[in-house]
């Protein structure tokens, strides 16, 4: 009987042990739940419930914050104060009298890690050690965290240690060279992290947008790239497009959704972009300005003035004005060339091009923009073949990703022009689609271009599909590189068909980003 009793006791005790795996395999996705997955279910941040929900969502990681109480208890909480009590000057007994909003007791790190090891096969624990202002306390808390992780045999569950304290991270790498560490502060360049054996960076979004060169530098150095806290579609899409390893978010469900709809899901790789995260003139390494009276008998004079094109507040602004401007190409009024027989133009605008700077053959181009309003305006995102200078138009081919005319306020159209199919012959291949509030709302205008077809897309909806007939270059001159143009025209052969409303000036086209993707086998 005594033997049976001990067997039964052993079985009961074993059933109380957390269900653990020897070597956890972290989920192959980018999603790090910030303080757990708490938002959609209205759970407390840094609660065991929010951790469990992150595990249920199969997030690659769940981040949590660690502090130490007056009586040396490691607890999971974000702020230096908890319900009006300072964590470092209060005992755990005092602090734990106030429960979390879901009734949980304020979790100790021990209980939190054990919960994270239970029935979890894929979600890493991202342990943020909060720095202290008390001399020597950073090292003390770090040692206690590492000792606890070792005691619980939880090393394989801790995917990363992160901190705003460089002292803490360097101490971790000294004690445990195999531990993976990410720096949060955003103040150090990637090469500094690499030299100090820090695994990677986990920087605030706006710091990375201000220093986008750090993204490439980090990748070249083999550092892990993470960013916090990305909660908007725009920020999440930017991180996905730039192939960050992880995205720390309060919206893990949204990140999963955006990953599913991202071009990267179709094996596209971002090869060129302008996010307009700077101020002043458009980046001269990416854009040239066209200057003067250029095409289509349009009425505007293109300039490189800041008045007409500039980057501010995260947007490229193309601003069109009604104003008299001298035509630098004027010869006299008797010459036949319309570009040279006008001493002045009555409008100024901007036209940017990547010609001689960047050209691509096949891929996907996304442009997110808000269009200018007014009869007589003709904004466009379009492309010309690299051989334009040799063979001219239309033999070079033209791809109109998006055109809009102010006299047709509720539609945009996508078109191709070739020697066989062009508007001079009335044979161009184009279609239009209704667009809701193009002047007040940003929309994404997309071209998907392959050797066999082109798709013209508005907000992820294909509205024009053009097949390659596999005849000659007269029908399909699109097996070569093309450069991109962005402009707002005034009047001209199409834009001016119903006159020009001078009350529409000045006006702005706002562009949030331009992104060019290509598939690996097309690079």
**Tokens representing 245?**
């390893």
Query: Which residues, in sequence order, are CB contacts of 174 under 8 Å at separation 6+?
Result: none
Burial class (CB in 10 A: 0-12, 13-18, 19+), 338: exposed
- In this structure, are residues 400 and 430 in contact, taking their beta carbons and an 8 Å threshold? yes
Q: Give dist(CA 60, CA 515) in Å, integer.
A: 27
Residues 6+ apart with CB under 8 A from 97: none
Cα 68 to chain center, whole Å? Answer: 36
C-alpha distance from residue 323 to each of 204, 277, 351, 497, 506 (Å): 43, 29, 17, 21, 10
CA distance 38 to 249: 11
What is the three-class DSSP state of 270? Answer: strand
Residue whose pair of structure tokens reads 């097949």 in the numeric block? 467
Q: Which residues are tagged catalytic?
A: 398, 403
How many angstroms separate the CA atoms of 215 and 445, rounded? 26
- b (16+ CB within 10 A) / e for 190-224: beebbeeebbbbbbbbeebbeebebbebbbeeebb
Closest CA to 329 of 319, 344, 313, 314: 344
Cβ 102 vs Cβ 43: under 8 Å: yes
First to last CA, the chain: 75
State the pairing for strand pair 61-68/74-76.
antiparallel
Separation between Cα atoms, residue 498 and residue 511, nearest integer Å: 26
Distance of alpha carbon 102 from alpha carbon 60, whole angstroms: 25
Decide if 511 contacts 318 (C-beta within 8 A): yes
């Amino acid at each position: 009987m005594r033997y049976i009793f001990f067997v039964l006791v052993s079985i009961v005790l074993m059933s109380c042990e957390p269900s653990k795996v020897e070597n956890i395999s972290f989920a192959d996705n980018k999603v790090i739940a910030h303080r757990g997955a708490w938002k959609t279910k209205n759970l407390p941040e840094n609660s065991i419930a929010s951790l469990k929900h992150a595990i249920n969502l199969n997030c690659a990681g769940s981040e949590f914050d660690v502090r130490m109480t007056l009586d040396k208890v490691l607890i999971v909480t974000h702020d230096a104060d908890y319900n009006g009590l300072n964590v470092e000057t209060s005992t755990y007994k005092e602090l734990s009298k106030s429960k979390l909003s879901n009734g949980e007791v304020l979790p100790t790190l021990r209980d939190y890690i054990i919960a994270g090891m239970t029935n979890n096969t894929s979600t890493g624990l991202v342990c943020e050690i909060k720095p202290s202002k008390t001399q020597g306390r950073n090292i003390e808390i770090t040692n206690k965290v590492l000792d606890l992780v070792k005691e619980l045999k939880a090393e394989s569950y801790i995917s990363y240690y992160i901190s705003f304290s460089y002292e803490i991270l360097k101490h971790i790498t000294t004690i445990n060279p195999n531990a993976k560490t990410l720096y949060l502060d955003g103040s150090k360049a990637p090469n500094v992290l690499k030299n100090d054996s820090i695994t990677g960076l986990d920087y605030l979004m706006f710091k990375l947008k201000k220093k986008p060169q750090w993204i490439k530098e980090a990748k070249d150095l083999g550092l892990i790239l993470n960013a916090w806290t990305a909660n908007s579609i725009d920020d999440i899409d930017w991180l996905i497009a730039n192939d960050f390893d992880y995205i720390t978010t309060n919206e893990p469900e949204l990140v999963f959704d955006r990953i599913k709809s991202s071009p990267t899901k179709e094996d596209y790789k971002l090869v060129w972009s302008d996010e307009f995260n700077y101020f002043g003139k458009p980046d001269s390494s990416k854009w040239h300005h066209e200057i003067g009276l250029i095409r289509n008998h349009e009425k505007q004079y293109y300039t490189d003035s800041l008045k007409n094109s500039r980057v501010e507040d995260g947007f490229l602004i193309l601003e069109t004005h009604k104003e008299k401007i001298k035509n630098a190409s004027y010869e006299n009024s008797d010459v036949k060339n319309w570009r040279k027989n006008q001493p002045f133009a009555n409008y100024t605008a901007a036209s940017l091009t990547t010609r001689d700077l960047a050209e691509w053959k096949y891929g996907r181009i996304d442009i997110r923009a808000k269009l200018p309003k007014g009869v007589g305006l003709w904004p466009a995102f379009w492309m010309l073949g690299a051989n334009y200078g040799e063979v001219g138009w239309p033999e070079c081919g033209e791809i109109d990703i998006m055109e809009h005319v102010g006299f047709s306020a509720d539609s945009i159209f996508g078109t191709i022009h070739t020697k066989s199919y062009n508007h001079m012959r009335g044979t161009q291949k184009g279609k239009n689609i209704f667009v809701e509030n193009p002047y007040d709302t940003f929309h994404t205008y997309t071209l998907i271009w392959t050797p066999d077809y082109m798709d013209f897309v508005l907000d992820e909806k294909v509205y024009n599909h053009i097949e390659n007939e596999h005849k000659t270059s007269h029908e399909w001159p699109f097996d070569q590189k093309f450069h991109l143009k962005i402009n707002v025209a005034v009047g001209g052969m199409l834009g001016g068909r119903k006159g020009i409303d001078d009350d529409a000036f000045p006006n702005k086209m706002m562009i949030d980003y331009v992104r060019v993707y290509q598939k690996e086998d097309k690079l």
